[in-house]
């Protein structure tokens, strides 16, 4: 696959297992960028236009839900699909409220994480 066709995924989590699953679970044509909190992710989104964003619900200072809400209010980021990783199934309604395109409850296998994220851009 040519460099121009390379997909970019931004993964926002403090959970090392999630970050490792993202680093090693995606095929080689996918470029993974990571952030450990919503503030870092927002800075990266100033220059990076990922194909999809995976955001952990419990992500640092502003939280994954705040990041998803902020993205939905910025024209340049509004169309980027967001996969929210939840701690519990009961929070699915919150994910929908903040504009998540998809949500999954942790733990999630690396292959499933990659497949779900890539299904949002295909």
* CA–CA dist 67, 41 (Å, integer): 8
Model's pTM, two decimal places?
0.92
> How confident is the model at residue 62, as a pLDDT?
62
β-partners of residue 43 are none
pLDDT-based confidence at residue 1 (cuts at 50, 70, 90): very low
Supply 113's token pair. Answer: 């994480």
59: pLDDT strictly greater than 90: no
Q: How many CB atoms lie within 10 A of CB 3?
A: 7
21: pLDDT strictly greater than 90: yes
Which backbone phi and psi does 119 adopt, to 5 degrees? -65, -20
Burial class (CB in 10 A: 0-12, 13-18, 19+), 54: buried
Q: Which domains does the chain have, with CATH numbers?
A: 3-119 (3.40.50.2300)
53-62, 67-76, 97-106: the lowest-pLDDT one: 53-62
Mean pLDDT computed over 9-19: 96
**What pLDDT, in 10s, does the model give residues 72-81?**
999 999 999 9
52 neighbors 68 (Cβ within 8 angstroms): no
> How confident is the model at residue 58, as a pLDDT?
81
86 neighbors 105 (Cβ within 8 angstroms): yes
4: pLDDT strictly greater than 80: no
Give every CB contact of residue 20 below 8 A, 6+ residues apart in sequence. 110
């Amino acid at each position: 696959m040519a460099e121009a066709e390379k997909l970019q995924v931004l993964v926002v989590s403090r959970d090392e297992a999630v970050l490792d699953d993202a680093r090693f679970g995606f095929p080689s044509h996918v470029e993974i960028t990571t952030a450990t909190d919503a503030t870092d992710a927002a800075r990266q989104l100033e220059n990076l236009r990922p194909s999809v964003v995976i955001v952990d619900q419990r992500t640092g200072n502003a939280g994954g839900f705040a990041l998803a809400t902020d993205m939905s209010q910025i024209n340049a980021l509004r169309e980027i699909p967001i996969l929210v990783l939840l701690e519990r199934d009961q929070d699915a309604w919150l994910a929908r409220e903040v504009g998540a395109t998809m949500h999954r409850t942790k733990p999630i296998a690396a292959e499933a994480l990659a497949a779900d994220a890539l299904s949002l851009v295909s």
